[in-house]
Structure formats: C-alpha cells, structure tokens
Amino acid sequence: MTEKSFFAGFGGQGIISLGQIWVYCAMQEGKNVTFFPFYGAEKRGGIARASVIVSDEEIASPLVTLPDSVLVMNPDSLPLCEGMLKPGGLMLVNSSLVKTPPNRKDLKVAPVDAQGIAESIGSPKFANMVALGAMAKLTGALDLADIELILKKFFPPDKHRFIPQNVEAIQAGGNAAKIFT
C-alpha cells in the first residue's frame, strides 16, 4: 500500500500540524513516510500545504506530483487540488467552508463538515483532526487503533489535556466520512 496525499488550506487551519501528525501516526504503525510542508510568510491567513506519502514499501521519490488523495480545507485550495489529483482520486472537502463542488466528474468527492464537527466538540481548531479521521478512514493509509497513545507521544505533556478532544475529533471525522461521487 502506498498513499500519496496533499493537504491544502490557509494558515491557522492546522494543515502543517495535520501533516506532521499524519506521518507520525504512520511511523508509529511501522510505515515509511515522507513529509513536505509549504506555507506562506504570513502567520495566519496565508497558504498552507503539506504533501505526504505513507507506504508499506520503500519510497522511491518524496515528491507528490499526482496525489491519490487531497484534502481541501478552504475555497482557494479547490482549483489547485482539483488540477493535481489523479483521475479517480479522492477529494475530501471541508464542506464548512468549501461550498462549490469540483468541476471534474472523475473524482470521488467526500464532503465533511470539519469545522462544524470541530465546533461541536469544543473548538474550530479541531477541524484538522476531524479531517485526519476522515482521510484515514477513506484512504486506509492509517489504522489509528492506538491514536490516544500515539498522540501522547506526539504532543508535549503540557498539551496532553487536549488529547481527549483530539481523539473525539478524529473519531467523529471517521464516522462522518462518506464518498459522494
């Protein structure tokens, strides 16, 4: 199994953190990974992107030029993600903010109300974790069976109080994930 993914949004949505946690989970599950973050100079509101590869085999090239799956967290990211996604690929869309469907008809589209679900858990800041749960379920790239233990290793001790909400957000994202083509 090899899954090439591309996450896109704006600064402040946790795209880079999502990529870091995604590859950390994969490493803890014994998989090979690559991670390339990209973000603008702005502290919040600029572009934020991350490309990741998760594989059971060695990864020949770390570049993600034709992703198997993309995450679109904001409207400005839709054209970029739509243009780069492979035919028949999976597009997870944060339907809280992205109201326009993609133009391409050859994609598997999965709208998830990431921000709405996150707000019901306690903060819109958990939207990236909702997206992580949905992407993991739909791609099969991550198992997440031990997500609480993995997050305890990932986050410093002063952030452990947020782990239950992160786990709830990840599980809610997995539960909300459905493909509509």
Question: Which one-letter amino acid corresponds to residue 62?
Answer: P
Q: List, in sequence order, every residue forming a beta bridge with 72; answer none if it has no partner.
A: 8, 93
pTM, rounded to two decimals: 0.92
Residue 103 counted as domain residue: yes
Q: Is pLDDT above 60 for 5?
A: yes
Residue showing tokens 């609480």 = 148
> What pLDDT shows up at residue 43?
65
CB 31 within 8 A of CB 55: yes
Residue 12 counted as domain residue: yes
Diameter over CA atoms, the chain? 46
> What pLDDT shows up at residue 181?
55
Residue 181 counted as domain residue: no
Tally of structural domains, the chain: 1
Residue 100 counted as domain residue: yes
pLDDT tens-place string over residues 87-138: 999 999 999 999 999 999 999 999 999 999 999 999 999 999 999 999 999 9
- The number of angstroms, rounded, from the C-alpha of 47 to the middle of its chain's C-alpha atoms is 15
pLDDT tens-place string over residues 58-89: 999 989 999 999 999 999 999 999 999 999 99
**CATH number of residue 143's parent domain:** 3.40.920.10
| 24 confidence band (pLDDT: 50, 70, 90) | very high
CA distance 105 to 108: 8
Range of the domain at 73: 2-176
| 44 confidence band (pLDDT: 50, 70, 90) | low
Residues 6+ apart with CB under 8 A from 107: 82, 85, 88, 89, 90, 91, 181
